[in-house]
């Protein structure tokens, strides 16, 4: 029979593990891991721990060795899992992002998943995942028009300077023009003209 490595707990470790094992707001997986290590600290082997906690011996062995290697911090988080290797290369992802943000399709105003998938040679679902992962929404076009005035930067600095450092005893007001919107109705009724 294989003997598991011995777990020796300090008083601080034991107190923390007992608090985790009893914690009502502690995640269940951390509670189980704390109980495993506490039982291992009492000298129990993995088979006995597995029997007492109704788990498989491999689970008890895993968390015993993780505690011996990483301490209490090793019990609080799962180890990173390798996962499936991405089928789309990072270069292709960068190309899709660059085309989406910097180019327009030849026969349209903005990219759709179908047109981008055709150009990039990947599926529509892959294009959707890339756009979603990078917060891209090419169908929602928001534009800002820059003035053609050669003195635009100078005028802009003057206006921003007024807001940041207004003249003493002056009132700075801002009015915003709304193009293509006409105020046809008054918000307040007109007052009668006084007759003399």
> Is residue 154 included in any domain, yes or no?
no
Q: Which of 34, 44, 28 is nearest to 66 (CA)?
A: 34
- pTM for the full predicted model: 0.47
CA 139: distance to chain centroid? 22
Q: Are residues 94 and 67 in the same domain?
A: no
pLDDT, position 139: 78
Residue 16 has pLDDT above 80, yes or no: yes
Model confidence band, residue 78 (pLDDT cutoffs 50, 70, 90) = confident
| 119-140 pLDDT per residue, tens | 999 999 999 999 999 888 887 7
Residue 32 has pLDDT above 90, yes or no: yes
Q: Are residues 69 and 94 in the same domain?
A: no
Contact of 162 with 174, CB cutoff 8 Å? no
How many domains is the chain partitioned into structurally? 2
> Is residue 82 included in any domain, yes or no?
no
| 99-114 pLDDT per residue, tens | 988 888 888 888 899 9
Q: Which of 76, 108, 125 is the last residue of a domain?
A: 76
CA distance 115 to 107: 10
CA dihedral 175, 181, 185, 188 (to 10 degrees): -20
Contact of 151 with 120, CB cutoff 8 Å? no
Mean pLDDT of 156-171: 84
pLDDT, position 153: 81
> Is residue 35 included in any domain, yes or no?
yes
> Is residue 56 included in any domain, yes or no?
yes
pLDDT, position 47: 92
What percentage of the chain exceeds 70 in pLDDT?
Answer: 88
Q: Are residues 105 and 70 in the same domain?
A: no
On average, the pLDDT of the chain sits at: 85
CA distance 189 to 106: 52
> Is residue 175 included in any domain, yes or no?
no
Residue 145 has pLDDT above 70, yes or no: no
Whole domain around residue 17: which residue ranges? 11-76
């Amino acid at each position: 029979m294989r003997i598991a490595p011995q777990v020796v707990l300090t008083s601080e470790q034991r107190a923390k593990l007992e608090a985790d094992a009893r914690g009502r707001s502690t995640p269940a997986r951390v509670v189980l891991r704390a109980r495993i290590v506490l039982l291992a600290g009492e000298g129990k082997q993995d088979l006995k721990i597995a029997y007492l906690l109704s788990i498989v011996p491999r689970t008890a062995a895993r968390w015993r060795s993780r505690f011996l290697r990483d301490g209490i911090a090793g019990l609080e988080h799962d180890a990173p899992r390798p996962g499936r290797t991405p089928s789309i290369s990072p270069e292709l992802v960068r190309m899709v992002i660059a085309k989406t943000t910097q180019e327009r399709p030849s026969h349209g105003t903005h990219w759709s998943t179908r047109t981008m998938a055709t150009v990039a040679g990947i599926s529509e679902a892959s294009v959707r995942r890339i756009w979603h992962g990078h917060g891209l929404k090419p169908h929602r076009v928001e534009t800002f028009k820059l003035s053609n005035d050669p003195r635009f930067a100078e005028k802009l600095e003057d206006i921003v300077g007024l807001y940041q450092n207004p003249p003493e005893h002056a009132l700075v007001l801002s009015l915003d023009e709304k193009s293509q919107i006409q105020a046809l109705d008054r918000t307040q009724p007109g007052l009668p003209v006084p007759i003399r």
